[in-house]
Amino acid sequence: MAGLRSTLRRWHIWLGWLIGVPMLLWSVSGVLMVVKPIEEVRGAALLSDMPPVRLAASAIAPAVDLKPTTKLTLEQRATGPRWVLAFADGASRLADPATGRLLPAMSAADAARELGARYTGKARIASVTHIDPANPPLDLRRPLDSWKVAMSDGTFFYVDRWTGEIAARRTAWWRFYDFMWGVHIMDLQTREDAHNPWLIGFGIVAALTTIMALILLPMTGRRKKKRPTA
């Protein structure tokens, strides 16, 4: 029994040193991710909803040139109601209900106007930058042809060039939270792979270390009871 206890203690110490840093990172990142309410992190209050749209009797169906369409909706935009078409190939476009014609991609000024129509914060627009869908930033997470509207307080909004949809909002806290999430799941490259070998490996080591501690605890207690009193 003494030999088993000594072996378990030795393994427990070495595995404890190995898992110490990951356990600290898990704990610190977990605490930091709950410091602020998730609604504030996401900037939920920074955008208002667009008013509902009524379909006018004179509205003209969009001309799609027989292109397969999976969805057609009428939505409010900064310049008025617009048809929003989703095509079978994944593309989306706006169309003018007054003429039925498809509209061109939005300019930087259009994107700023769309955001201004819904923005409820106090910051000002610092810059508007085109995002290449072939090289999207990490915080966007998807290949979207869009405009990045950067605010003076560090918040980013991504506006779809073809639909005017505000596809993502990224506060400074969101980006910090996102980095902490990457640390938490040990994936700083994509921050989405919670099935990576680092996380699984350290998780197994942490579980083994905990099991050894639970086995050693009663063994140590029995040893103390057997010691003769002076």
pLDDT of the chain, 230 residues: tens digit per residue:
566 667 767 766 777 777 788 888 889 999 999 889 999 999 999 999 988 887 777 788 887 776 788 999 999 999 999 999 999 988 999 999 989 899 999 999 999 999 999 999 999 999 999 999 999 999 999 999 999 999 999 999 999 999 999 999 999 999 999 999 999 999 988 998 888 998 888 888 888 888 877 777 776 655 555 555 54
Q: How many domains does the chain have?
A: 2
- In three-state secondary structure terms, 11 is helix
* Domain boundaries, position 192: 2-37+179-226
Residues 55 and 18 in one domain: no
Residues 151 and 56 in one domain: yes
Torsion angle, alpha carbons of 137, 142, 145, 149, to 10: -50
Residues 67 and 121 in one domain: yes
Residues 49 and 13 in one domain: no
**What are the φ/ψ torsions at residue 157 (nearest 5 degrees)?**
-125, 140
Q: E-strand spans in 88-208?
A: 92-95, 125-131, 146-151, 156-160, 166-170
Amino acid 209: pLDDT: 80
3-state DSSP of 190-225: CCCCCCCHHHHHHHHHHHHHHHHHHHHHHHHHHHHH
Q: What is the edge-to-edge ordering of all strands in the sheet holding 166-170?
A: 125-131, 146-151, 156-160, 166-170
Residues 54 and 139 in one domain: yes
Using the 3D structure, point to which of 122, 139, 170 is the last residue of a domain.
Answer: 170
Amino acid 66: pLDDT: 63
Residues 205 and 166 in one domain: no
CB distance 85 to 62 below 8 Å: yes
Calpha distance 174→138 (Å, rounded): 12
Calpha distance 164→82 (Å, rounded): 10
Residues 73 and 111 in one domain: yes
Rounded to two decimals, the pTM is 0.82
Calpha distance 148→121 (Å, rounded): 17
Amino acid 52: pLDDT: 85
Residues 165 and 52 in one domain: yes
Residues 214 and 162 in one domain: no
